[in-house]
Amino acid sequence: MKRLIRKLAPLWWTIAIGLPTLYWVLYSVETVYEVPLRPESFRFERVWAALLLLAAPLVLIVQGWVQRAHAPRLKLSRARDLAAVRPGWRLWFRHVPVGLRTTAIGLIAVALMGPQSVHARDSAEVDGIDIVLTLDMSLSMEAADIAPNRFNATQFVVDEFIRRRPNDRIGAVVFGRDAYTLLPLTTDKEALRNTIAELQLGAIDGRGTAIGNALGVSLNRLRRSTAESKVVILLTDGDSNSGNISPEQAAEFAETMGVRVYTILMGVSDQTRVQRGTDFFGNPIFDRGNFPVNPELLQQMATQTGGQYFAVSDREGLIRSFHTILDQLERSDIEDAGRVYGELYPAFVWPGLTLLVIELFLLVFLLRRWP
């Protein structure tokens, strides 16, 4: 029986070290990281890394028995006399490094699996509404009647608008000759602001203005919205002259869906200045451009859907228009299914590294073997 106990000493030491260490790790997760010990409060980002857990029993087998069986030994002529000597404490603790390393490998393997805490709830009520910003990227947005030009002014004011609606889900649609989703409805305001700030004219085909298509794509972003209030803010500087959906038809769809459309006309004159390049000294060279506008169309779309129409001829007017929209947008409850994950790998990495340091100390100073 004693012989069996001695044979299984590496396993006993692994259990004796592993169980208290695991208890300490779970205790620190619950107290330091304030994560309740429930299955729904955790997830692993890289579940496939669980295969690395096989390294722990492999280390136990190799170092606990295989290497010990092939370790160098001294042959003595009077071994019976040595057997009668009472074994010292080093003999009883010689398998401690195996237990330390096995436990450390297991902890590091769990850390590599990417343990994360789930802080957000599956269904949280958020005070806000669903908004889609629909931005004109046709070539006429280069006009400089709104400094520095219509499109850059739009980017600046839209960025300010997004910052002042922290609880809303906001999406973005861009259009020129056709319409495209830039970002679906999201609560990640930083991602939305950065994406809009990086937009440049010419990124899409700007040789037309497909207002009907733009509103249709925007409505598609709101089709599955459960918010009581749904809004589209449409910024354009021209008449609809492209696309396969008419603005009137898109406005009817918006009215049926209960979506309010706020329309903003950038520039109120067909004739305006457009920068055509720079001179030898880097100064801008302006030319006159002819860009037809249709304020009646935009006014009709806003009135039909319960929104409001704005016509702006300068940057201050654009800012006032957005402030008016901000004041008119009521607030309602929407469901936000987003989750926030917290990293828990330090709770496993640091105890694992500590055990490895203790193992190294024991092997170098206290349990040094010779030969």
Per-residue pLDDT tens over the stretch 96-148: 888 899 999 999 999 999 998 876 544 445 556 899 999 999 988 888 778 78
How is domain 124-336 classified at the CATH fold level?
Rossmann fold (3.40.50)
Average pLDDT over residues 19-37: 86
Q: How far apart are CA 313 and CA 267, in angstroms?
A: 5
Question: What average pLDDT is seen over the chain?
Answer: 82
Domain assignments of the chain as residue spans, ordered by start:
2-73+83-120+340-366, 124-336
- At 35, the pLDDT band (50, 70, 90 cuts) reads confident
Q: Is the pLDDT of residue 278 over 80?
A: no
Phi and psi at residue 102, in whole multiples of 5°?
Answer: -60, -45
Q: Is the pLDDT of residue 279 over 80?
A: no
Q: What local confidence, expressed as pLDDT, does residue 63 receive?
A: 78
Give pLDDT tens digits for 194-247. 999 999 998 999 889 999 999 999 999 999 888 888 999 999 987 899 999 999
Q: What local confidence, expressed as pLDDT, does residue 61 receive?
A: 86
Average pLDDT over residues 75-92: 62
Q: Do 274 and 142 contact (CB within 8 A), yes or no?
A: yes
Burial 226-237 (b: 16+ CB within 10 A, else e): ebebbbbbbbbb
Q: What local confidence, expressed as pLDDT, does residue 239 receive?
A: 83
Q: Is the pLDDT of residue 71 over 70?
A: no
Phi and psi at residue 214, in whole multiples of 5°?
Answer: -60, -45
